[in-house]
Amino acid sequence: MDFRDSTEDAAFRQEVKDFLRTDLPADLKADDDVILGVGVGENPRDKDWLKTLSKRGWVAPNWPVAYGGAGLSVMQQFIFNEEMARAAAPRPNFLAIGLAGPTIIVHGDEAQKKQHLSGILSGEDYWCQGFSEPGSGSDLASLQTKATQDGDDFIINGQKIWTSGAHRADRMMLLARTDPDQPKHKGISYFLLDMKTPGISIRPLTNMADTPSFNEVFFDNVRVPKGDLLGEANRGWYYATTTLDFERSGIISGVALQRLVTDTIGYAKQSPRTDGAWSAIRHELAERYIETEISIALSYRVASMQAKGMVPNQEASITKLFGSELAQRIAKTGIKVAGLFGQLREGSQHAALGGRFEGWYRIAVGSTLAGGTSEIQRGVIAQRGLALPRG
């Protein structure tokens, strides 16, 4: 793996830096919640930023030009993501641009591409991910939401949970069981569901970080046209693995985590501890920074494999596993640095970094759950990476 940019890639990196320096509004930075930063379109200025990006084809720069992207190479896409993260540029509509769109490009038919991709690029259509269920989180393939074929339609009944952005979404990437007699991985289908369809009800869930982005979604005889079936019936699990690989490769950004550590170091320099614990905290901060470099290196490994035409499967899980557990260590270290002031929330005049430490700590709890638990990632690494038998 070569960490050096080619001449062409170095020029592209400088182009992205120059663009962000001149075109990114100073007051339009990504939320501090970068540990699980999945934009769902709550900021009314998101569309303005997407319009700015679209002038260069950078809303989805790795998409083929034929589908509205810039047709960038894998490494250029990685460079773009890296510089966006370093500049704290917002990534609105990530679930649509980063997950739904690429999955449709890989597995959708031309009618589906024509129907959905332009709305994703414009920011008109936001998507959510209807995978997890109350009894099917880590063991996702055990999902029980049913889709029964009725003529040219499917009728959906069941429930989804932890559905980020469902309260805002226009479409859902939905997994439902279409053949209960097949083994659990083989009887699932993948639908591109219109969230305005009658029979869908949404109940918001506020997580422990007071972020109202999660939802429960209920389906009561929801009629879905056959044209919204992605690929072949009963092969949805294999299409879902494409979505999950995109998610695991990008849900935790090593560069974004490094920003958190850098901000923590800056706070520590301004407000050094005087309780005798400072020496240990200094070493801990150094360890966290080194670990962010490791996280970035793991991301480079994934990008390098993709650039060579390889499919990073266990490598994506390694990157996600290390990054999500690192996010929790960083949050814990931040609270140590801030001391009692780190427990104060936004709005308190004494809150450390305006309450960001407290916010990081609470949101980081979910980092080892979103995108597949640490146990699931270790299972993927063991089975697909080390060829170990199922336990």
5-16 tens-digit pLDDT: 899 999 999 999
Same domain assignment for residues 186 and 279: no
For residue 24, give its domain range.
7-92
pLDDT digits (tens, 9 = 90+) for 310-349: 878 888 889 999 999 999 999 999 999 998 899 998 889 8
pLDDT digits (tens, 9 = 90+) for 34-87: 555 444 455 667 778 888 998 888 988 888 888 988 888 888 988 998 898 888
Residues 6+ apart with CB under 8 A from 2: 304
**293 three-class SS:** helix
| Centroid of chain to Cα 382 | 23
Same domain assignment for residues 132 and 224: yes
pLDDT digits (tens, 9 = 90+) for 193-204: 999 999 999 999
The reply to whether 97 falls in a domain is no
Same domain assignment for residues 300 and 368: yes
Looking at residue 150, which CATH number applies to its domain?
2.40.110.10
Last residue of a domain, one of 206, 234, 262: 234
As given in the structure block, the two tokens for residue 132 are 């997890």
Q: In the annotation, is 82 catalytic?
A: no
Residue from 82, 83, 247, 315 carrying the catalytic annotation: 247
Same domain assignment for residues 88 and 141: no
What pTM did the predictor assign?
0.83
Report how far apart, in Å, the C-alpha atoms of 19 and of each of 12, 86, 301, 356 are: 10, 13, 26, 28
Looking at residue 49, which CATH number applies to its domain?
1.10.540
Contact between 356 and 32 (Cβ < 8 Å): yes
CA dihedral (71, 40, 37, 270) in degrees, to 10, reads 120
